[in-house]
Amino acid sequence: MKTLVLRVDPRNPDPEKIVAAARRLKEGGLVAFPTETVYGLGADALNPKAVLSLFEAKKRPLDNPPIVHIGEPGEIDRLAVEVPPEAERLVERFWPGPLTLVLKRSPSVPSVTTCGLDTIALRMPKHAVALALIRGGGTPVAAPSANLAGRPSPTTAEHVLQDLDGRIDLILDAGPTAVGVESTVLDLTVRPPQILRPGGTPREALEEVLGEVVFHPSVLAEREVEVERAKSPGMKHRHYAPSAEMWVVEGEPEAVKEKLSELAEELRRGGKKVGILATEETLSRCRAEVSASLGRREEPREAARRLFGALRELEAKGVEVILAEGVPLRGLGVAVTDRLRKASGYRIIKAGKG
């Protein structure tokens, strides 16, 4: 299969290209498109064959359902049942935007789209191209991140090509995405509401609307957590991982800097090619042959925007080991640290203790 790349203006996409992409979707094809978080790989959510081919193209395990993307809040009532009143308040405040709601699914949704679960994850993205495509197709769009399963999520069309060239029909290329980490996945079928995956909408913001919101035990986990499949699909699979071995060093900035330098030196002496992924402040004081920046320590949004691209960049430079600095657990820093820990396969080092 030849993968066609169509460049589109992120704010004002060419209607002809959108029509062509929407037609591919309706025909059962696979179309990658930008959202405000990461690029998604879209298939018609109501076409079981198309959804199955989505799993195949991504090599995604069949127990990890995609998010279903919609173009209007009103679509919720077509796809979900017993929608609690909280949903409406959240939609009003956060949609379109990086928040995914897990609700009871309507029987009208094909079972393969939700991997046989009785719930469905719904989101209305905040990106002109995504919305034009979904509305143009006239159907809800199942769209996991447009990467091979287990790899860092794509924040540019180039990242999508790296993983999926020849495996999908079309990519709408509208340049880099704004947020850089995926949407927050919030389960509204339990009390209190539970964050299954931290993401572009911080817990603090959700609590302003809902009161108490809790994290699922897998969020920010420091080791593999046993999860009940029915509640938390896909959590047992490795995520976001670069091809290099990765370690995350967390703690006070000074101790982290010391530890990173020490580890880098030790690995270099052992003949390993090392890459450091850290904040500007740390990089300016840490000797590194190969490095990538997470931006300034006080700017978690910058770290989120850079994270996945930086992992791919270090990998492309052929490093064998990535040493990463954990970022403060504020705002989007929670999502970034969660991704770093999971990408490292939980190789976490606490600096300055013990």
Interface residues toward ligand TXA, by CB under 6 A: 35, 37-38, 40, 64-67, 98, 100, 102, 114, 117, 119-121, 123, 125, 143-145, 182-183, 185, 196-197, 233-234
Q: Which residues contact 191 (CB under 8 A, 6 or more apart)?
A: none
Give the up-direction half-sphere exposure of residue 85: CA atoms within 13 A in the CB hemisphere.
Answer: 2
152 binds, among ligand TXA, Mg ion, none (CB under 5 to 8 A by kind): none
Choice between 197 and 257, CB closer to ligand TXA: 197
Does 184 sit near Mg ion (CB under 5 A)? Answer: no
Closer by beta carbon to ligand TXA, 63 or else 92: 63
Task: Give which of ligand TXA, Mg ion, none residue 183 binds (C-beta under 5 to 8 Å, depending on kind).
Answer: ligand TXA
- List the one residue from 113, 119, 145, 291 that touches Mg ion (CB under 5 A): 145
Least distance from ligand TXA to the Cβ atom of residue 74, Å: 19
The answer to whether the beta carbons of residues 213 and 186 sit under 8 Å apart is: yes
**Closest approach of ligand TXA to the CB of residue 354, in Å:** 33
- Using only C-alpha atoms, the chain has a radius of gyration, in whole angstroms, of 20
CA-CA distance, 310 to 276, in Å (whole number)?
10
Q: Which stretch binds Mg ion (CB under 5 A): 58-66, 144-152, 159-167, 342-350?
A: 144-152
Q: CB 153: neighbour CB atoms within 10 A?
A: 27
DSSP assignment letter at 145: B
**Nearest Cα residue to 340 out of 249, 216, 214, 236:** 249
Of 102 and 314, which has the nearer Cβ to ligand TXA?
102
Question: Considering only CA atoms, which of 187, 184, 158, 144 is closest in space to residue 304?
Answer: 184
Told to check if 232 binds Mg ion by CB under 5 A, we report: no
Query: Tokens at residue 291, please?
Result: 């490095």
Applying CB under 5 A, the residues found at the interface with Mg ion are 145
